A and B are shown apart, each in its own frame.
Chain A
Amino acid sequence: MRRRLSTEPEGTEINVSPLIDLVFILLIFFIVATSFVNEVGITPKHKDTATSSANLEDPLAFDLPSSGQLLQDGMVIGLEQVAPLVRSRASEKKPSVLVRVSPGARAGMATQVMDQAMLGGAQAVKLSPLTQ
């Protein structure tokens, strides 16, 4: 009588410890794998439906020739002048900015110009390649 009762719980119960081990390993794997890429960046928006076509016809254009300079309306300007220029244009209307890049211009420079234009309150920033 006593012997039967003592063996009974061992015989009917399934050992769940390996299952829990496995499930915990899977759980930890998925927790670690979930948020893997934390990227910071800028999103140059153009062809925005909210902007009128008339606005896009007259963009504030910046040129990046292969020499590494930054030109606006034929004049060499500094990177720190981009935001004030966009801001002065923004007093009338939200300007759209066009960054024209020549082959040989640096991507870092182009990104910084777009960044400064966005800082100045540009609504649409477009990056366009300039073919020779």
Chain B
Amino acid sequence: MRGRARIIESSETDSINVSPLIDVVFILLIFFIVSATFVTLPGIEVTRPLAVTGKALQKNAVIFALSGENEIKYAGSTVQMEEIPGLVEQASRDSGKPVVIQVDQWADASVLAKMVAEARKKASEVSIATRKPRA
């Protein structure tokens, strides 16, 4: 009787109970899966124009880019101006995502103006990505 109690006690103490750890990790995992926003990047890097009033934009956005050669990029490929409203609608799926346009500072401003007008047909908020001047 005394010997059996000793054996049970030792088997309880030499292994750590990992169930609460797994619970916590699973909760964290589910939280991050739910809050993860997968943003499709345009696939090119542009030189953004300088702006002092630039504010942090919403992370979960539909991103377009306008290259210095006046090519409109979306998700790694070149798209046409007329495709923009359709792409915005498809990407936001009536969740009302804002649109962000990454514009190269040497791109044509009239193309940018047309892009903003096209994106505005389907999105309530259209922003232009800028960079802060070095202080």
Residues of A within 8 A of B (CB): 2, 5-6, 9, 13, 16, 19-20, 23-24, 26-27, 30-31, 33-44, 64, 101-112, 114-115, 118-119, 127-130
Contacts and interface: CB of A to CB of B under 8 A. Distances in A.
Interface stretch (B47-55, B72-80, B86-94): B47-55
Dominant secondary structure at the B interface? mixed
Contact of A115 (B108, B110, B130): B130
B29 A39 contact: no
Interface of B: 4, 7, 11, 15, 18, 21-22, 25-26, 28-29, 32-33, 35-39, 41, 47, 49-57, 59, 61, 63, 66, 100, 102-114, 116-117, 125-132
A127 B116 contact: yes
A88 B33 CA distance: 50
Contact of A41 (B41, B52, B100, B117): B100
